[in-house]
Structure 1
Amino acid sequence: MLNIELIIVFFLVLIRMASFIVACPLFSLAGIPPLVKAGLAFTLAVLVTPLVQPPSLEFPGGVWGFGLAVFSEVGVGLALGFVCTLVFSVVRIAGTLLDFQIGFAMASVMDPLSGSINTLVSRFLYMMTLVLFMNIDGHHALIQAMVKSYQLVPLTAAGISGEVTLLIIRIFADTFTLAVQICAPVVAILVITDLSMGLVGKTAPQMNIFQLGFPLKIAVGVSTLAILLPALTSVFKYIFDTLQRDLLLLLKGLA
């Protein structure tokens, strides 16, 4: 005989898990087939359902109350995935700023993984961040965070408060702040290069500064970025730690 209560709990767990996988930049890569994503969400829901405290199945309003519960679980999953997207966008924004300074912005290409137009350095840094995140088992940490979310925010118990709104605004602001800090050393050197080229143009007007400047800025920018790449590992570690902290704060706010 079918256990209706267990089916309802499994469905609510599946809704939150699937919403998170759809919104999380790590699991929502376009290169992953939709059937694999659905299978991952279903498998995780099967494993997590026995660990979840069953909620009160007395939904006020009948079908409408159950619909609101489903909408609440979708919101929790999308909110967690959105925070992950904001944190991972740090390197993408930093790479875009670098591309504008180096001159790669004119070589923008359509990125099939994100479905948007990305510049070269931005795509390189973003993919490197994802690889490092997988290398340190960050995907396992995300799955553990989702399992813990059912303890901190029980099914049908999520709510939006002013603290959640302020937290998302703070994460959004920190994303741009950290992105500027990452690209600041390279941008500073490129600005010095521009000033030097300007002085050369004043002292030697017969030189074609524009023709000389583009390859020089590319060489200086790429060389500086290559030198700074080892130092960026500590920055990436800080980004990953920030992701775990923000997810925990968001879960406490939703609870």
Structure 2
Amino acid sequence: MLEAININSFPVFLLILVRVVAFFVTLPFFSYRTVPLPFKIGFSFFLAFIMFYTVDTSLVVVDEMYLFLVIKEALVGLLVGLIGYIIISAVQIAGGFIDFQMGFAIANVVDPQTGAQSPITGQYFYIFALLFLLSVDGHHLLIDGIVNSYQFVPIDSFIPFHNGNIAEFVIDAFNNMFLIAFQIAIPIVGCLFLVDVALGIIARTVPQLNVFVVGLPLKILVSFIAIFFFLSLYIVLVKYLFEMMFETMRGLMQLFGGA
């Protein structure tokens, strides 16, 4: 208990607190506006206080490099949380693909969690994804990730930005994110493409029929039916998306640690 109030251990606690706070700034679910700010600050403080007893305090030396250690901790928290947020954004991108084909692209809604505009279908899928994340205790795994991050990125080491594997790893993560978004959207987009082909044939064979009047309600109806039938497939893809998010965050921390 004397170590907790020792002024010499405060620099180590500050480094841990900076990483935890930066992690929660960009981490999915915890960074949303709907989570109260006092809760974020208090939770970060007590989590950093618990993590303080798992870190070797003798590794940190307060010298002219200490400021760079603080910046490094902030970058580690921000970038690891951001890569997880980017991966889970595949759900929003898939919703944008679907809305563009449905005719809902002009009717974006403001996401109360992020404050940004998002597609209607993407927001619908995103709510399902968050509920699935909570149902499988994914938020506990995210917290466990930041707690165990010092096994990959020690508190006294720096990020090897000269390592080209980090940039290559981030590019591969982007590619996989767009691939999963395409896989989520392709069943509904494929059905709507067939509807467009059918409407084109009808427009050529029955010129008296106004396909622009009939087409939009028909595409919306087909979209709802397709979403209903492919919802189970969507849950499987979301499960794979979360597995990829955890693996990507782990892999990025390993690269930050020089592995």
Please classify the TM superposition score into its range, dividing by the shorter chain length: over 0.9
Q: How does 1:153-192 map to 2 (within 5 A)?
A: 153-159=153-159, 160=161, 161-192=163-194
In structure 1, C-alpha distance between the alignment counterparts of 2:8 and 2:127, rounded to whole Å: 42
Partner of 2:40: 37
In structure 1, C-alpha distance between the alignment counterparts of 2:235 and 2:248, rounded to whole Å: 20
In structure 2, C-alpha distance between the alignment counterparts of 1:6 and 1:75, rounded to whole Å: 22
Partner of 2:213: 211
In structure 2, C-alpha distance between the alignment counterparts of 1:101 and 1:172, rounded to whole Å: 23
Partner of 2:222: 220
Deviation (angstroms), 1:43: 1.5
Cα contact 1:94–1:183 (8 A) shared by 2 = yes
- Structure 1 residue 80 corresponds to structure 2 residue 80: yes
Cα contact 2:69–2:158 (8 A) shared by 1 = no
Q: What is the letter of the counterpart of residue 94 of structure 1?
A: A
Tell me which moved more, 210-219 or 3-12: 3-12
In structure 1, C-alpha distance between the alignment counterparts of 2:60 and 2:46, rounded to whole Å: 23
Structure 1 stretches of 4+ with a deviation exceeding 6 A read none
Partner of 1:193: 195
Listed one character per residue, the Cα deviations across residues 80-132 of structure 1 (whole Å, up to 9, x for unaligned) are 11111111111110011101111111211222211111111011111211110
Partner of 1:92: 92
- Consecutive unaligned residues in structure 2, runs of 5 or more: none
In structure 2, C-alpha distance between the alignment counterparts of 1:15 and 1:143, rounded to whole Å: 15
Cα contact 1:83–1:246 (8 A) shared by 2 = yes
Greater share of helix: 1
- Consecutive unaligned residues in structure 1, runs of 5 or more: none
TM-score between both structures, scaled by the size of structure 2: 0.93
Cα contact 1:52–1:151 (8 A) shared by 2 = no
Partner of 2:28: 25
Deviation (angstroms), 1:54: 2.2
- Structure 1 residue 102 corresponds to structure 2 residue 102: yes
Deviation (angstroms), 1:181: 1.6
TM-score between both structures, scaled by the size of structure 1: 0.95
Cα contact 1:25–1:85 (8 A) shared by 2 = yes
Cα contact 2:19–2:73 (8 A) shared by 1 = yes
Alpha-carbon RMSD: 1.3
1:56 to 53, 59, 73: 59
1:247 to 240, 246, 249: 249
SS in 2 for 1:219: helix
Q: What is the letter of the counterpart of residue 34 of structure 2?
A: G
In structure 1, C-alpha distance between the alignment counterparts of 2:72 and 2:173, rounded to whole Å: 22
In structure 1, C-alpha distance between the alignment counterparts of 2:79 and 2:31, rounded to whole Å: 14
In structure 2, C-alpha distance between the alignment counterparts of 1:55 and 1:93, rounded to whole Å: 46
Listed one character per residue, the Cα deviations across residues 162-217 of structure 1 (whole Å, up to 9, x for unaligned) are 11111111101111111112111111110010010011111111111101000000
Q: How does 1:92-131 map to 2 (within 5 A)?
A: 92-131=92-131
Deviation (angstroms), 1:151: 1.7
Percentage of matched positions with identical amino acids: 33
Q: What is the letter of the counterpart of residue 39 of structure 1?
A: G
Q: In the comparison of the two structures, how many residue pairs are matched?
A: 252
